[in-house]
Structure 1
Amino acid sequence: SAVVFPKKIATEQQSLMLVKRLLAVAVSCITYLRGIFPESAYGTRYMDDVCVKILREDKNCPGSTQLVKWMLGCYDALQKKYLRQIVLAVYTQTEDPQTVTECYHFKFKYTHNGPLLDFGSKDKKSDSTITCADTKKASILLIRKIYILMQNLSPLPNDVCLTMKLLYYDEVTPPDYQPPGFKEAKDEGLLFKEEPMYLNVGEVPTPFHLLKLKITTEKQRMENVDKSILKQRETAEPLQVCGVSRDDPEEESQDMNEDPVLDNEVEDKNHVNISEA
């Protein structure tokens, strides 16, 4: 069956539905192409002419069922306009979920009309000029980029685990808010043992939302990736902490040397409300 693009995105509800679908497609494609769950955990859909895999609850695969439940928690926070960022992280040692080997950052912005899903470009359009055709084109481009990138990255280790953290817009989010399936995070930092590389994958704007996707992985996995596919950033620091900044530095400066989400400093936890799965 098809993942249908709405003929128009005239209401916040239509925009929200599209952003939810796009998030589901992106997370499904990433986990499928990185070999995290078995084939049985996915169904097949078509997004225009692009064949995509969609994660589903599978009684033989508790992990996929768990991730579907996490996604429902994300939708709750997105609908309430609390959600600022989803960090989907891959780790290898079950006793040490803070030390990660790959991270996917989904950032959300809400326009004065509604929410915005941003996948990483610097071209800021005013929300009045965003058409349904723009959104559709950006969505398909994003999924194609995910496919190309995932197929070119070196494989993950055999046995990996997933964790998810949610970050909020603190000024509007109740301090005790936790979406279904999440609890207050004890430790907000995620550590990279190997040297990481950051990639801006892209962004999708609607009149109400902006979604941005960034990926962080070990630099050695990038050896086969055509450098022209994505703009990349390198860091000289072999040890990085995936901390959290309250304000997106991109708003102020186009020449940041570090990704605002990956920093050597872990922010004072008193100021940031973070959930973990």
Structure 2
Amino acid sequence: MTSTATEVTQVQSLAAIRNFIRVAVSCVTYLRGLCNDESYQPRQFLGLQLKQLVRSSPEADVISQWMEDGAFDALNKGYLKALSLCVYTPNCTELLESYSFALSYTPNGKRAALTFAGNSLNDAALRPCTAATSTTTRSRGKRHTRQEVQQALAGIITKLVEVVEGLPPLLCERVLVMQLTYYEDVTPPTYEPPCFAPASADLTSLHQQEQRQSTNIASLDTGHHMMSITIRHRFFDRLLSQSSMIAGNSTLTASTWNTTFSGIGTEGEEDEDEAAAALKHIPDTNAACTQTCPVKESSQRCPAEPAAISSTFSNDLAFFVFTCFILTRSPVVYRGRVSTGEIAEYLRVSCPLEITLEMAHQMMHRLELKGVVAATAQQEWIVHPLPAAALAGLLLAQREVVPLLSIQIHEDLERLVKGDATTRMSVAAGRKRQRANA
């Protein structure tokens, strides 16, 4: 008895790309908290238990429309050069994270190379998204079977989930943007897929700046498309050393969804050396979804009205932000203690401001004097729940503080103020059980 393995066809390869993008976008938006949990359903993909984005909420509807009606229209027509999912600060002047799927085609259009690039930053520098195509081998002699491609895709998704799970929490206020880049030589000058419009010059400029830095973590060659995944993050630089340079002549389009305010759609054109694009707003009905940064879905933004904090605390933004982290260790939401190691890890990974460990110890002493924490002999501090809850309510009313808080810290402070007995650890354990039972 003999058996044969069927090679992947061009049509199958293109379908695999679409499915991969759907799964990857679902994983990224779920793990980064860009949509509420009700926007996802359990799905098995190549033997993996994942969360699939479904059209069950306004934000999920918009993201699905971006992919299905917009990006895939350009992909099916052979115009698409790159799809970038970007997370910006509210004013779109600083990129927090970007994940880019870039394609390059052979002259006859029968073979292509796909690159998936991810960039994530948590510092004050301007970091635009990457959306251009990396230099890749145009043709590979070997064809691959469907089983080989599926095994490789499963490995890439697994790696992607591992990397995204390790990213620091996002800030409370952020804007989600999808940008499309086209090949100018084949794309009609007036082409705009549904949900997209010309990008602003600022977004195009940011796009060009960021495309220079990324690190490769995985790759796949189907015989028709080559796909590689790259990521740029300051906390992974020590682990990931291989980098790829992104460059190309392209046309950029974007659709924007503001997770705190109403969104705008954008699209534009870009040359290799310079970009010129006009901003065009899409009606709010296309991308006007909002997501709450607190746990309450009815709220559209973080508290904006300032409230006076007790005069016993100085008007020190770094101290306020650090105090928010310490308060989340209250027994109401955590284990009631915080160690020097946990503080050092927070400062290294998640703190949005430059705070040294020495400064942190000075801040802890200030909190001791005010009765918020009490030092123990094991390089730990006990966090007292009552003063922590009172202080959390005051800090959540500070307009300067709230935008610097991660989603997790913001939710923990909300839970602390409400006196919710469900701790973060029990919530995390419940989510793990749900994944295990899925």
TM over 0.5, shorter chain: yes
C-alpha deviations, 1:21-68, integer Å up to 9, x for none?
A: 001111111111111111111122122222121111123xx2221111
- 1:166 CA drift (Å): 0.7
The residue aligned with 1:4 is none
| 1:104 maps to which of 72, 87, 99 | 99
* Residue identity matched to 1:22: F
* Residue identity matched to 1:182: F
Q: Name the one with the larger helix percent.
A: 2
The residue aligned with 1:56 is 54
Q: How does 1:223-242 map to 2 (within 5 A)?
A: 225=236, 227-228=238-239, 230-233=240-243
Q: Which has the higher contact order (CA 8 A, sep 6+)?
A: 1
C-alpha deviations, 1:101-131, integer Å up to 9, x for none?
A: 1111111123442443234799959433130
Note if 1:152 corresponds to 2:179. no
Decide whether aligned partners of structure 1 residues 231 and 24 sit closer, same or farther in structure 2, where only a CA change above 3 A counts: farther
Q: Name the one with the larger strand percent.
A: 1
Name stretches of at least 5 consecutive residues in structure 2 with no aligned partner. 118-133, 251-270, 283-438
TM-score by length of 2: 0.47
Partner Cα separation in structure 2 for residue 29 and residue 22 of structure 1:
10
The residue aligned with 1:81 is 78
Partner Cα separation in structure 1 for residue 279 and residue 180 of structure 2:
6
Q: Which moved more, 1:34-43 or 1:16-25?
A: 34-43
* Residue identity matched to 1:70: W
The residue aligned with 2:274 is 268
Q: CA contact under 8 A between 2:105 and 2:138: conserved in structure 1?
A: no
Q: Report percent identity of matched pairs.
A: 30
Partner Cα separation in structure 2 for residue 100 and residue 125 of structure 1:
31
Decide whether aligned partners of structure 1 residues 276 and 203 sit closer, same or farther in structure 2, where only a CA change above 3 A counts: farther
Q: CA contact under 8 A between 1:98 and 1:189: conserved in structure 2?
A: no
Q: CA contact under 8 A between 1:170 and 1:273: conserved in structure 2?
A: no
TM-score by length of 1: 0.71
C-alpha deviations, 1:140-183, integer Å up to 9, x for none?
A: 22111111111111111123220111111111111111111101
- 1:88 CA drift (Å): 1.2
Q: CA contact under 8 A between 1:104 and 1:213: conserved in structure 2?
A: no
Q: Which moved more, 1:46-55 or 1:112-121?
A: 112-121
Decide whether aligned partners of structure 1 residues 197 and 275 sit closer, same or farther in structure 2, where only a CA change above 3 A counts: farther
Partner Cα separation in structure 2 for residue 80 and residue 207 of structure 1:
20
- 1:75 CA drift (Å): 0.6
Note if 1:130 corresponds to 2:143. yes
Decide whether aligned partners of structure 1 residues 233 and 123 sit closer, same or farther in structure 2, where only a CA change above 3 A counts: closer
The residue aligned with 2:423 is none
The residue aligned with 1:208 is 224
| 2:206 maps to which of 190, 193, 207 | 190
Note if 1:32 corresponds to 2:34. no
Partner Cα separation in structure 2 for residue 273 and residue 145 of structure 1:
38
| DSSP 3-state at the match of 1:128 | coil
Equivalenced residues, count: 234
Larger Rg: 2
The residue aligned with 2:187 is 173
Partner Cα separation in structure 2 for residue 226 and residue 8 of structure 1:
40
The residue aligned with 2:249 is 246
Note if 1:20 corresponds to 2:30. no
Partner Cα separation in structure 2 for residue 157 and residue 66 of structure 1:
21
- 1:275 CA drift (Å): 9.9
Q: CA contact under 8 A between 1:167 and 1:275: conserved in structure 2?
A: no
Partner Cα separation in structure 1 for residue 207 and residue 75 of structure 2:
26
Name stretches of at least 5 consecutive residues in structure 1 with no aligned partner. 1-6, 235-242, 248-264
C-alpha deviations, 1:253-273, integer Å up to 9, x for none?
A: xxxxxxxxxxxx984225x99
